[in-house]
C-alpha cells in the first residue's frame, strides 16, 4: 500500500468532523471517496495532506507515519494535492504557473513531468501558454491546477472534487485525461459527489457520510448496491 489511513478522528476547533475513518490506496490504483456535500470528503483529503491534522489515528505514506508532519514535508515525500478551490496564481501565465511548481522528490524514479508533457496531456493549455491564469475559465483553471501539481512529480495525487461546477463536456474531457494518468501509472485518490463521473474512472470506492466510512468495495459492486447508493448518495 502506498497510503494507509487508520482510524483517524479530525476536528475543526471543537467540532468533531471525521469519526474513525480508515482507507487505503494501492500503487497504481484509482480510488474515489464518494459522498454528498458536507459528508467529510474535503476534510479527509486535508487530513491526509496534513492541512487539518487528525487528533488521533494514523496516516502512513510509503510506510512512514505522516501524522504530525507539516504539509510541506508530506509534499516533499511525494504527495500532491489539488484543492477544490484551485488556487492558481492569477497574475502569472499558464507556463509560469507550471514552471513555478517544478519539484523532484529525492526518492523519485522514472520520467519527470515537463511543461511539454503537461501540454501533451492537456493540449488546450498549450494554446493558452502566455495567458494569465486569472483569465482562464473554470475548466481551464482545473486543468492548470492538475498540471501544476503533476509538475511536482508526486507518487500519489489527491484530487478534491475535480469536476465540481464544470460543464458536462468539460467533465467528460477531464475524465478522459484522468484515465490517461492512470494509464501512465499514476496513483490517484479523489473525492467526488458526481457518481457518474466517479463510476467512469475509479476502480475502488469508499462512501463517506456524516464523517464516517459507510461502504468500501469495487466500483462495480457499488453500482449493484442500490441500498448504499440510495441511502448515502441519493441515487
What are the chain's domains?
A: 3-233 (3.40.50.300)
The secondary structure of 36-89 as a DSSP string is -TTSSHHHHHHHHTTSS--SEEEEEETTEE-TT--HHHHHHTTEEEE-TT----
- Mean of the pLDDT values across residues 43-65? 96
pLDDT digits (tens, 9 = 90+) for 192-202: 998 888 988 99
Q: Provide the 3-class DSSP secondary structure of residue 15.
A: strand
d(CA 64, CA 169): 40
* Higher-scoring residue by pLDDT: 165, 132: 132
- Mean of the pLDDT values across residues 222-227? 89
Q: Report the number of secondary-structure helices (H) and strands (E) in the chain.
A: 10, 10
- Mean of the pLDDT values across residues 73-79? 93
Asked if pLDDT for residue 165 goes beyond 90, the answer is no
Asked if pLDDT for residue 235 goes beyond 70, the answer is no
Q: Under 8 Å CB-to-CB from 77, ≥6 apart: which residues? A: 61, 62, 64, 66, 105
User: Residue 25's pLDDT band (boundaries 50, 70, 90)?
Assistant: very high
pLDDT given at position 9: 97
pLDDT given at position 103: 85
The secondary structure of 172-197 as a DSSP string is HHHHHHHHHHHHTT-EEEEEES-HHH
Residue that has been written with the C-alpha cell 507539516 in this structure = 70
Helix (H) or strand (E) holding 11: strand 3-12
Asked if pLDDT for residue 106 goes beyond 80, the answer is no
pLDDT digits (tens, 9 = 90+) for 37-50: 999 999 999 999 99
Helix (H) or strand (E) holding 229: helix 226-233
User: Residue 136's pLDDT band (boundaries 50, 70, 90)?
Assistant: very high
Residue closest to 204 by CA, chosen among 72, 64, 24: 24
- Mean of the pLDDT values across residues 80-104? 91
Asked if pLDDT for residue 16 goes beyond 90, the answer is yes
Beta strands in 73-224 (DSSP E): 79-82, 156-160, 187-192, 204-209, 212-218
* Higher-scoring residue by pLDDT: 106, 114: 114
Amino acid at each position: 500500500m502506498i497510503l494507509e489511513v487508520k482510524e483517524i478522528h479530525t476536528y475543526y476547533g471543537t467540532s468533531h468532523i471525521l469519526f474513525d475513518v480508515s482507507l487505503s490506496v494501492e500503487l497504481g490504483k484509482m480510488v474515489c471517496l464518494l459522498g454528498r456535500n458536507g459528508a467529510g470528503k474535503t476534510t479527509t483529503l486535508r487530513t491526509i495532506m496534513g492541512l487539518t491534522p487528525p487528533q488521533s489515528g494514523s496516516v502512513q505514506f510509503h510506510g512512514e507515519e505522516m501524522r504530525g508532519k507539516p504539509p510541506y514535508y508530506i509534499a516533499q515525500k511525494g504527495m500532491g494535492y489539488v484543492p477544490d478551490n484551485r488556487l492558481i496564481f492569477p497574475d502569472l501565465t499558464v507556463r509560469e504557473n507550471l514552471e513555478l511548481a517544478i519539484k523532484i522528490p529525492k526518492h523519485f524514479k522514472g520520467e519527470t513531468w515537463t511543461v511539454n508533457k503537461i501540454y501533451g496531456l492537456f493540449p488546450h493549455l498549450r494554446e493558452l501558454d502566455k495567458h494569465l491564469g486569472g483569465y482562464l475559465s473554470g475548466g481551464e483553471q482545473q486543468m492548470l491546477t492538475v498540471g501544476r501539481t503533476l509538475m511536482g512529480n508526486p507518487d500519489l495525487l489527491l484530487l478534491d472534487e475535480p469536476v465540481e461546477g464544470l460543464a458536462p463536456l468539460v467533465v467528460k474531457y477531464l475524465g478522459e485525461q484522468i484515465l490517461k494518468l492512470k494509464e501512465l501509472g499514476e496513483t490517484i485518490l479523489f473525492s467526488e459527489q458526481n457518481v457518474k463521473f466517479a463510476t467512469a474512472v475509479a476502480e475502488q470506492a469508499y462512501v463517506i457520510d456524516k464523517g464516517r466510512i459507510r461502504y468500501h468495495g469495487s466500483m462495480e459492486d457499488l453500482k449493484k448496491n442500490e441500498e448504499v447508493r440510495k441511502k448515502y448518495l441519493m441515487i
